[in-house]
Every structure is written in structure tokens, then in C-alpha cells.
Amino acid sequence: MKFEIRFHGPFRVATGAAADGLNASYDERNPLPASSLKGVMRAHAAKPLKITEALVDEVFGGRRDRSPWSWTDAEITDGTGRVRTQSRLDPVTHTVAKGALFTSGEMWPAGANFEIIQRDAIDATRIDLHRAVLMAAARTITSLGSDRRRGLGWISVIPDHHWDDHLHALLTAHRSTDE
């Protein structure tokens, strides 16, 4: 299955380390790794879609079993890297508070693509269900990476497979009733 990512702004999947004058940086060689894509898709299958925990583990892997699917790193199309500077103002002096200047690297690509490849056998009666979970999880993603609530990482993910009533019915039948 192939997926297109459309970026509506810059993003950063932080490395967890400072680099070249930046408090937060991203890996320029692999700015959007497979592990981040799989993680955000799993989170969306579990929360917004309310897929049962057993099915989420079946599709994405669980404590005892690996996923029968393999994610590729995103292939970034063009784009620019840039630096974002944030500061906190002292409420008394209205100047930048001491030690409160923060710089971070971010990227704004033209687009990206990734694939999810079947690597293990899946029961023929469950393959469409797996695909429905993967497509629906991808379509519900609206942001990824660091600082999503601060304006970074707004995206749309579009699968190359067509969504139909059959897939909708399969997915609906496997939603959790827990609130």
C-alpha cells in the first residue's frame, strides 16, 4: 500500500539532541522515519477510530507478536529546512526572560510518500480488514512530529487504495464500544 503525505506547514520529528546551535533538531538524512509513521498510525487506530485493542495489536504488532506489515521511511520531495526561534517574555520587563530563548530546526517539504508492505502471512479472510484499518488510520492523521499543538506538523495522508462500503462495514464491525 502506498501513501502520499501533503504538508500544510513545517514539521520536525526531533532527534532528542541539540545540534549546530539548535536546541531541537531533526535528522536531515531521514527526517520522517518509519517508526514515527507506524506510531502515529497506531495511535490513531486506537483513539479516534476506536478500533479494538486486539485488532490494533493484530495489525500493528503487540507485546508477543510483530506486525505482519513493514513501514518504509518517508521519501521526502524537495522542501526547505529552516530555524524557528521561540522565547518567553518576562512579564515585568517585557524582555526575553533569561535562559528562555529556544531555537529548533524544522522542515517544510513539498510532499512525501511512504509504503506499508506485507511481510508476513495474513489470513485471507482478514487481509481486507487489515487494509481498512491501515487506510482509515492514515486518513485520520492531521499532524505528526514535535510541537503539533504549537503549529508544526499539520498534514494530510492519502492512501492509494480506494475506500468503499465493504471496507467501511469491516472497520465499523471492529470498533470498541468502550468510551
Q: What CATH number does residue 106 fall under?
A: 3.30.70
- Using DSSP bridges, classify how beta strands 155-159 and 96-108 pair: parallel, antiparallel or unpaired: unpaired
Q: Is 53 within the bounds of a domain?
A: yes
Residue 85, all three cell numbers: 526561534
Average pLDDT over residues 162-176: 91
Cβ distance 5 to 160 under 8 Å? no
* Domain assignment of residue 37, given as a range: 2-172
Task: Confirm whether 177 is domain-assigned.
Answer: no
Which pLDDT score is estimated for 112? 96
Q: What is the pTM of this model?
A: 0.84
pLDDT category at 16 given cuts 50, 70, 90 is low
**Average pLDDT in the 140-151 region?**
81
Residue 29 pLDDT grade (very low, low, confident, very high; cuts 50, 70, 90): confident
In a domain, 178, yes or no: no
- Is residue 179 one of the residues assigned to a domain? no
Look at residue 178 in the predicted model and tell me its pLDDT.
66
Number of domains composing the chain: 1
Q: How many CA atoms are closer than 13 Å to the CA of 109, on its beta-carbon side? A: 23
Q: Which residues 6+ apart lie within 8 Å of 75 measured at CB?
A: 112, 113, 114
Residue 35 lies in a domain: yes
- Whether residue 34 has pLDDT greater than 70: yes
